Amino acid sequence: MKLIYSLLSVTLLTACTVPALQSNNQPAEEKGAMTPPDAIKHDPAHPPIDCPLRKQGIDPGKLKPFEQMEAYINFLDQESRKVWQKPQEVVAAMQLKGHERVLDLGAGSGYFSFPIAEKLPLGRLFAADVEPEMVRHIHHKVMAQGIKNIEVLLIDPEKPKLPENIDLVFICDVLHHVKNPKDWLTGITAQLPIGAQIHIIEFKPGDLPNGPPESVKMAPEKLIEIAQSCGLRLEKRLDELLPYQNYYVFKK
Ligand SMILES: C[S@@+](CC[C@H](N)C(=O)[O-])C[C@H]1O[C@@H](n2cnc3c(N)ncnc32)[C@H](O)[C@@H]1O
């Protein structure tokens, strides 16, 4: 596993570094940089898939080594999570028709982004996170797998800017990370069209084998109260779908 991630790390850095060479109008010799091989020369008719971090002014070359994110990514993607996270059942519960524009907000490793995108042959999945390394990780997977309907976004932790015309925002295990959930949800709701849905999954209160410490969990009543104060209507609650988490569906 370590070897695979070491190789991935090199590939990731390359994937995110290539556009720097391409977007640099000065000859490579002037910068003392390596001349890019023919395969990565810029063709204006077919622009490269640029690293989403660069568009936001972050130099991907200055990110933490990929190995440092390995533990968190492995934790999120661990095989045993399937037993209680039931990703296929969760995606089925979203009742997607296939043409929607879905935002996976706080996408992490993309645990849900990829299976959701599979259900959107005519739609688009936006995978957004506040961690540049997560954005880089998903971006690389998207490129490596040649996936056409996933776009990756680096967002602000307090005031995320949403893509236009989102039909559904999916937020799994993120709300307890947010500093001011009311302001955060208010800002998100304001950017959605009427009729858009927000699906939230958060850990149930109580001593459970998985989940964050009790001190950071939000009581279901509190979560619903906050969402309603942001102009959202509770459409349904799926309390039995998952053993350790509640699933709330809100509508604007
Ligand atoms: C526990 S992980 C969940 C990841 C993914 N949703 C899943 O279920 O596998 C929480 C994620 O939320 C992200 N996050 C933390 N604060 C955030 C914020 N204010 N806005 C958006 N994402 C945030 C973290 O970077 C992390 O990737």
Q: Which residues form the domain of 218?
A: 79-251
Tell me which residue has its CA closest to atom 17 in ligand 1.
157
Here the tokens at position 25 are 């109008």
At residue 208 the predicted structure's pLDDT band, cuts being 50, 70 and 90, is very high
Of 109, 173, 171, 159, nearest in space to 136 by CA: 109
Please give the pLDDT value at position 5: 33
pLDDT tens by residue, 175-203: 999 999 999 999 999 999 999 999 999 99
At residue 45 the predicted structure's pLDDT band, cuts being 50, 70 and 90, is low
Strand locations in 47-176, DSSP E?
101-105, 124-129, 150-154, 168-172
Total count of residues recorded for the chain? 252
Residue 22 has pLDDT above 50, yes or no: no
Are 59 and 90 found together in one domain? no
Q: Ligand 1: which atom is nearest the Cα of residue 77?
A: 9
Please give the pLDDT value at position 13: 38
d(CA 49, CA 201): 32
Are 149 and 241 found together in one domain? yes
Minimum mean pLDDT range among 60-64, 116-120, 131-135, 178-182: 60-64
Are 227 and 178 found together in one domain? yes
Are 54 and 87 found together in one domain? no
Residue 34 has pLDDT above 50, yes or no: no
Q: What mean pLDDT, rounded, does the chain reach?
A: 83
Residue 15 has pLDDT above 70, yes or no: no
Tell me which residue has its CA closest to atom 19 in ligand 1.
157
At residue 8 the predicted structure's pLDDT band, cuts being 50, 70 and 90, is very low
Please give the pLDDT value at position 12: 39
Are 6 and 28 found together in one domain? yes
Of 208, 207, 171, 212, nearest in space to 189 by CA: 171
Are 143 and 86 found together in one domain? yes
pLDDT tens by residue, 71-115: 899 999 999 999 999 999 999 999 999 999 999 999 999 999 999
Number of structural domains (the chain) is 2
At residue 49 the predicted structure's pLDDT band, cuts being 50, 70 and 90, is low
Are 117 and 215 found together in one domain? yes
Residue 169 has pLDDT above 70, yes or no: yes
Helix axes 2-23, 67-77, angle to 10 degrees: 120
The domain boundary residue, chosen from 25, 55, 73: 73
Contacts of 175 (CB under 8 A, 6+ apart): 181, 200, 202, 218, 223
Which residues lie with the beta carbon below 6 Å from any ligand 1 atom?
76, 105-108, 111-112, 129-131, 134, 155, 157, 172-174, 177-178
pLDDT tens by residue, 210-250: 999 999 999 999 999 999 999 999 999 999 999 999 999 99
By three-state DSSP, how is residue 151 classified?
Answer: strand
Of 105, 145, 144, 146, nearest in space to 127 by CA: 105
- C-alpha of residue 128 to centroid of ligand 1, in Å: 9
Sheet holding 124-129, edge to edge: 150-154, 124-129, 101-105, 168-172, 197-203, 245-251, 233-238
Q: What are phi and psi of 175, to 5 degrees?
A: -55, -35
Please give the pLDDT value at position 44: 52
